[in-house]
Amino acid sequence: MATSAQGLSFGWLSPVIGNKWSDYQPIVQYQCDHVLPDVTAHFDSLWIADHFYGFDQKTDPFLEAWTTLTWCAAKFPDIDLCHHVLGVGYRPPALTAKMASTLQFLTGNRFILGIGAGWREEEYHSYGYEFPKPSVRFKQLEETIEICRRMWSEDEPRFEGDMFRIEGAAAPPRPEVIPQVCVGTSGEQIGIPLAARQADIWNTVWRGSRESLERKCDVMHKQLHLLERDLSEIQFSLTIERALPETKSEASEFADLLSGLIEIGFEHFVLDFGNPSSAAEADMFISEVLAPLRREFGGS
């Protein structure tokens, strides 16, 4: 399959959870001190997940996404920033737009709005939020993106939708550079078509099946064709949860995996390496996987 012309890029996902494997210290806090100061020079973006509590024990520390990403933004001034991904129902759309415009301003245009329809029903109910059926959540997502783009570009933005409305919801200072929108979704019936309409970046998750990803890419290509959108207008992004390689053999296997995924259209990888204890643990990946792939397929 053809790829777009945006170039190969890599994101580092830093976990906000603290659990028994990290001695209950939020992993991102440790990584900001011991890992990210060295590895961010080799990656294009830093990603933070958006949930309110963890998946093992509800009492495990789990940091809020906007606060954490803003904290990281101040520490690392040379890397793009994105959430993986915001649940649309967790914050009112106009507030999301205002927070995004503020962070875009404060970071010198390094913010990417990563957002999705939300999926963790238990979490919604725990916080007193409604959790409507998928078609409604995706409608909320589409209207939220529309509201954000209006508030980022208009002095007196107005919007009247089926889910939300704004009336002159100004968000000064408006960003000099409109943030890219990354839509996180895997659904072939509703989600991918929405991403085809609205996203600058489409993110989905590697679950071990190349055949499934090829099918999803095919759906995206068909939707873009129907919309008369050029493939270069959207970047295909894939999240992979996998430990850093420790040997050249493991590095070669990792590189082969990414090369195969590049062949079917993915050119941006969000990588969750878990809880490495030092920046040196990333050296093998950087030298044997990331750098050779950049040389072969392009990218900064």
Q: What are the extents of the domains in the chain?
A: 9-297
pLDDT band at 249 (very low <50, low <70, confident <90, very high): very high
Identify which of 3, 6, 44, 42 has the alpha carbon closest to the alpha carbon of residue 262. 3
**Residue 13 clears pLDDT 90, i.e. is over it:** yes
Please answer whether residues 168 and 157 qualify as being in contact, where contact means their C-beta atoms are separated by less than 8 angstroms: yes
Please tell me the predicted confidence (pLDDT) of residue 1. 36
Please answer whether residues 192 and 229 qualify as being in contact, where contact means their C-beta atoms are separated by less than 8 angstroms: no
Please answer whether residues 36 and 76 qualify as being in contact, where contact means their C-beta atoms are separated by less than 8 angstroms: yes
**Residue 109 clears pLDDT 60, i.e. is over it:** yes
**Residue 46 clears pLDDT 80, i.e. is over it:** yes
pLDDT, average across residues 79-104: 98
Pick among 3.40.50.620, 3.20.20.30, 3.90.1150.10, 3.40.50.720: CATH of 9-297:
3.20.20.30
pLDDT, average across residues 152-165: 98
Q: What is the pLDDT of residues 226-240, one digit of tens each?
A: 999 999 999 999 999
Please tell me the predicted confidence (pLDDT) of residue 241. 98
C-alpha distance across the termini of the chain, in Å: 22
**Residue 250 clears pLDDT 90, i.e. is over it:** yes
Please tell me the predicted confidence (pLDDT) of residue 300. 67
Q: What per-residue string of b and e applies to 147-174 under the rule 16 or more CB within 10 Å gives b?
A: bbbbbbeeeebebeeebbebeebebeeb
What is the pTM assigned to this prediction?
Answer: 0.96
Mean residue pLDDT across the chain: 96
**Residue 272 clears pLDDT 70, i.e. is over it:** yes
DSSP E strands, 96-179: 111-116, 158-160, 165-167
Residue 127 CB neighbour total at 10 angstroms: 11
